[in-house]
Structure formats: C-alpha cells, structure tokens
Amino acid sequence: MGFEFADRLKKLPPYLFVEIDKAKRKARAEDRDIIDLGIGDPDESTPKEVVEALYKAARDSKNHHYPLDQGNQGSSIFRERIARWYKERFQVSLDPEKEILPLLGSKEGISHMPFAFINPGDISLIPDPCYPPYKSGTIMAGGVQHLMPLIEENNFLPDLNKIDKAVLEKAKIIYINYPNNPTSAICEKGFFEDVVIFAKKYNLIVASDAAYSEIAFEGYSPSSFLKVEGGKDQGVEFHSLSKTCNMTGWRIGFVCGNEKIIAGIAKVKSNIDSGVFNAIQMAGIAALDIADKHLERMNKVYQERRDALVDGLNKLGWVIKKPKATFYVWAKLPKKHKSSIEFAGLVLDKADIVITPGIGFGASGEGYVRFALTVSKARIQEAVERLRKIL
C-alpha cells in the first residue's frame, strides 16, 4: 500500500549509530574480528550492588504496577537520593518535589523537552558537532535548528557573540554539553556564567547535558551549570546513569533545575510514557550510593585506555592532546585524508576497526573521527597496531 512517512520523519537524517551498527553487523557476519571503538557503550558490567538492588526490588510485588508516585514524577525516594547526590557532588540544593524528574535515560528527556517549549518555527541553538537528539528532538517538535560551530581554535566552545540577532528573536532553547560529546572538550566556570547572562538577555531556556560529568582524569572534576549564579533560574541539567555506572541498557537518568521547565517536561512525559519501572529506580538509588567507589576504579581504567590510544596514535604521526574528561578521543584525520566517512570506511575495511566519522555529528565535525574507550587496553593496543599497518 502507498503509506508515506510524516514530513517530520522525512526531515530526520539517518541516525548515526544505527548506520554504524549495520556496518558492524555486516562485518561480524563475515566472521571478521571487529574492534569496536564506535558507540560509547561501556564494556564492563553494571556494579553487582546495583544488580542486587534490582533483584530485590523486582521480587517485591508493590513494584509491579505503574510507577505513578506523585503524578508521574518518579519515586519520591529516588528523587530524594538524587537531591542528596547533587548536594554532595555539586553543592547545589534541589527540591525533590519540584526540581527533579527521573527519566527513561537522559536521551528521552532531551528528545522530549522541545515538545514542551518549541512551537513550529521556533529556533533551538544547537552546538555543531553534537549529540544527535538535540537536532532530532527539535525537528520532531516542528522547530528550526540554528547551529553553533564548535571549532578547535575556540576550545570547542560556541561563540555566542556570532549568533545573529534575528535568530535570537526566535530562539527558545540553547543546548550546551560539557564535558562534551563528541569532542571531549571541557569548559570553565566562566563559560557557564556567560551562558546564564546570554540566556537572561534573550529569554532562553538552557539545556545542559552533563552525561559525562563523572568521567574525568588527573584530578579534574567537572562542575554543574546549575552551580553558577542564576543557573537554576534559566535552565535544567540532564544526567544519566548509563555512563556513570555502566547502565546503558537500563534506561535511567534524570533532569534537574528550574521548576517550570521540569513541569513542562513532566507534562509531555505523562502523555507519552508511564515512567521508569520502580525496581529500576531502586537500582538507581544503589547506583548513586556506590558511584564514588565505582568511578574511582572505572576512571583509572579509562585513563589507562586513553593513554594507550593517544600515545599509540601520536607515535603513528597524529597530534592529539589527552582529554581531561569523557571516554572519547576526538582526532583530526591524518593529513592525506579529507573525508571522515571515507576514512572510517577504510579503517573498517582494512583494519576491522569501527570508529565514528565526525561528519555524523554535524558539518563542523568533518575532518575528525571519534574513538570510544569502551574496549580493553589490550584491544586498544591491538587497534593501534592494526592502524600502523594500514597507515
């Protein structure tokens, strides 16, 4: 029959990681030994304390119903634990009743947020390159993207002063993401302060994606946008337990901050889903309880992998600085290569290594590739050796 997709779907580009996964599955079907440095999916197991908390909660029949505690706001116990974690980690005070909302992973909240605040024709200010749901959420809500290039010369920070005033008159949301995916860039407190001033001037909602705030090295400790003066007045911050506690498949995260923005996201969610399974929220409490101990070990693992990859690539002629946060390495293409898609294809075809082409994150990502540190140090060393043979 002649069914057609809605126009909003036609506007969406192919989702980057789905396309990568297709190429990866094809290669594995050919019995090739693939080293996957593509998608940022932690390779180590979820901590046993978290699994045990899920098991215990799942056995309690009280958790077998819709998690409609407090009007789809999520478990009050989980929200109180998030508030305590935020206070301990960032010295930010949050009202568990009004300023915290559990999510089916931060991706879900980020994607749904534009439905609460973007009308057709309204503009979202989106970093480029970026995590794709900033764009897709805006498109699905009928909004318009205005891209803010992240370039190395500006430390991969957006230049807010270069945004046209006509754009700002129609803008409703500005997305920021530090530590950054895909560039692994970090920002100082002054950048967050500048964003608050900018957002107040142009009446913008700030959506701060802090999914990688807990993966950092050599004493660096990322801060929170909500910690700066006026931060909570202007925006919200998204967190995920996916990266923090190796829980990508569990789909649990949360958004915190401005009461009215939280209420808007909650209203969208209440009309689309029925919240996070209570047993998983109980597991989320356990994850926050053991996060410090778990991260101390995992960050040492990621740092060793980072060093093995960056040192190895630099010996092959690359010039890459070691990132201070995230489990990604953002690398310029070798000089004779221009297309990130072609280079990623070459590396897969000739070395059986999956990496992510920078163009997949946006036009400003062209000329770069992203390596994920989500395989063992030994496999990373093997990947470097494979690259040496083809380059």
Alpha carbon distances (Å) from 99 to 41, 74, 96, 200, 327: 29, 12, 6, 19, 29
Start-end ranges of CATH 3.40.640.10 in the chain?
48-291
Ranges in the chain, pLDDT < 70: 1, 15-17, 68-72
Alpha carbon distances (Å) from 195 to 37, 161, 175, 267: 33, 11, 10, 26
What does the pLDDT read at residue 11?
Answer: 86
What does the pLDDT read at residue 1?
Answer: 59
User: Whole-angstrom Cα distance, residue 242 to residue 245?
Assistant: 6
User: Whole-angstrom Cα distance, residue 184 to residue 239?
Assistant: 16
Angle at 321 between CA 315 and CA 324, to 5 degrees: 135
* Residue 15 DSSP label: P
What does the pLDDT read at residue 7?
Answer: 87
Start-end ranges of CATH 3.90.1150.10 in the chain?
7-44+292-390
Handedness of CA 66, 70, 76, 80 (dihedral sign): positive
Burial degree of 25 (CB within 10 A; 0-12, 13-18, 19+): exposed
User: Whole-angstrom Cα distance, residue 326 to residue 303?
Assistant: 10
Class level of CATH domain 48-291: alpha beta
- First and final CA of the chain: distance in angstroms? 49
pTM confidence score? 0.95
Class level of CATH domain 7-44+292-390: alpha beta
Q: Which amino acid, residue 5? A: F
Burial degree of 153 (CB within 10 A; 0-12, 13-18, 19+): exposed
What does the pLDDT read at residue 71?
Answer: 52
Per-residue pLDDT tens over the stretch 261-305: 999 999 999 999 989 999 999 999 999 999 999 999 999 999 999
What does the pLDDT read at residue 21?
Answer: 76
What does the pLDDT read at residue 193?
Answer: 98
Burial 124-135 (b: 16+ CB within 10 A, else e): bbbbbbbbbbbb
